[in-house]
Amino acid sequence: MGEQLPVVSLFSGAGGLDLAVERADADPLSAADPGSGLLKVSVATDYNEPALDTLRANFDGATTVSGDIREVPTEQILATAGLRASEPVLVVGGPPCTPFSKSGFWLEQKRESRDPNASLLDEYVRVVRESRPEAFVLENVQGLTYTTHRAQFERLLKALGELGYNPQWKVLLAADYGVPQLRRRVFVVGRRDGEKFEFPDQTHSGWSERDRKIDTTKLPHVTAGEAFADLPTVLRVSEDEIVAGQYGELAAEVPPGQNYLWHTDRYGGRNHFEWRSRYWTFLLRLDPNRPSTTLQAQPGPWVGPFHWENVRATDGVERARRLRAAEMLRLMSFPDDFKIAGNRADVQRQLGNAVPLELGKAVIRALMVQLGYITEQSESRFAVG
């Protein structure tokens, strides 16, 4: 292995983009292939100590900086990694997406884009400006591109453009890159030399809530059933997996792929809810023949997606169940041996905020090819067909 290229990771969280960096040239959907080690995360930053614990548990010799990025100087970040300005090959990161997520729209200040955490975008720009990497990759929820947040998004692009990086952005669907999840994320990518970044072509195709056209020259979307196929059978049901409470019975009666609308006067369940009176994810069950919907970080007690199979609670009654850690790792295309401390909810919180590994790999790999660090010949092994 030659000298590894240094990468600075901001807002690292559970390490989805960090994994993508260090496995950028690994075979797609291969947990056994860690890649060549071309890139190395030299320093990872986050304000959440449990997230940094996850990073340390999964990245050998990880160097971390803990603290509010607004109070952490760029010089400290670089010094921790043993780097100077212009030495990082990449700066990567996804500023916390809560201000721009649909799940926060019930709060007036979020609807009006007045969330103070939105300033974290400016901190990302500050680190890029002061560290001068060869390129950067910023990831966020699709909501950042909505009209509600248009002023902030355009300010971000303008600031990065003024640095000479010619930022390009695109909303990508994770399922189009082999992730068994219909998760949309916006990526903003820029190069210090001002050359235009070209986003990678999708490798998979299938219908989603917005696109019913299928490209038959691509591989089909990976389904949840395929993702879970070889997971070991768990005989004992954990109490925190069971969907109980006020809507427990109703959840257990919802068929695979359906949600609370099953229990309206238009479908075959109980006539319990008004049509379109809840969010789509309310009582949502996975369809084993399709990719999962977006895995949420902090869902309410009756917010899915739940597994398509019921389980029997201790009282013998059938109940829907929440996804297990091993299943959530598969839906994020993370390695099976990825370690996250805590209970099932802790795992979901960290993974729900993370970048799906295969989606991140596709973007990082395309960038490294265009920068000349990966040859077109080595890239050809990722071609479909």
The CATH code of the domain that includes 86 is 3.40.50.150
Over range 186-201, report the average pLDDT: 98
**What gap in Å lies between CA 301 and CA 22, rounded to an integer?**
35
**Residue range 6-63, pLDDT digits in tens:** 999 999 999 999 999 999 999 988 877 888 899 999 999 999 888 889 999 999 888 9
Same domain, 189 and 245: no
Same domain, 195 and 253: no
Same domain, 310 and 251: yes
How many other CB atoms are there within 10 angstroms of residue 342's CB atom? Answer: 14
| Residue 3 confidence class, pLDDT cut points 50, 70, 90 | confident
Q: What is the mean pLDDT of the chain?
A: 90
**What gap in Å lies between CA 127 and CA 72, rounded to an integer?**
10
pLDDT of residue 208: 86
Same domain, 140 and 48: yes
Over range 320-346, report the average pLDDT: 93
**What gap in Å lies between CA 288 and CA 231, rounded to an integer?**
14
Over range 219-239, report the average pLDDT: 93
Same domain, 293 and 209: no
Higher confidence at residue 112 or residue 141? 141
pLDDT of residue 114: 47
pLDDT of residue 98: 53
Domain region containing 277: 235-323
pLDDT of residue 382: 42
Q: Is the pLDDT of residue 135 over 80?
A: yes
Same domain, 119 and 198: yes
Same domain, 44 and 165: yes
Over range 211-228, report the average pLDDT: 94
Over range 126-140, report the average pLDDT: 98
| Residue 217 confidence class, pLDDT cut points 50, 70, 90 | very high
Strand partners, 307: none
Active-site annotation, residues: 97
pLDDT of residue 303: 97
| Residue 113 confidence class, pLDDT cut points 50, 70, 90 | very low
pTM: 0.91
Helix (H, G, I), strand (E, B) or coil at 19: helix
Same domain, 74 and 185: yes
> Is residue 329 situated within a structural domain?
no
| Residue 377 confidence class, pLDDT cut points 50, 70, 90 | low
pLDDT of residue 209: 79
| Residue 97 confidence class, pLDDT cut points 50, 70, 90 | low
> Is residue 372 situated within a structural domain?
yes
Higher confidence at residue 60 or residue 290? 290
Q: Is the pLDDT of residue 337 over 70?
A: yes
Q: Which two tokens stand for residue 171?
A: 């909303």
Q: Is the pLDDT of residue 293 over 80?
A: yes
**Angle, CA 189 vertex, CA 112 and CA 100 arms, to 5°:** 20
> Is residue 227 situated within a structural domain?
no
User: How many domains does the structure of the chain reveal?
Assistant: 2
Same domain, 210 and 167: yes
Same domain, 164 and 191: yes
Same domain, 346 and 307: no
pLDDT of residue 49: 86
Q: Is the Cβ–Cβ distance between 60 and 42 less than 8 Å?
A: no
**What gap in Å lies between CA 229 and CA 232, rounded to an integer?**
9
How many other CB atoms are there within 10 angstroms of residue 60's CB atom? Answer: 6
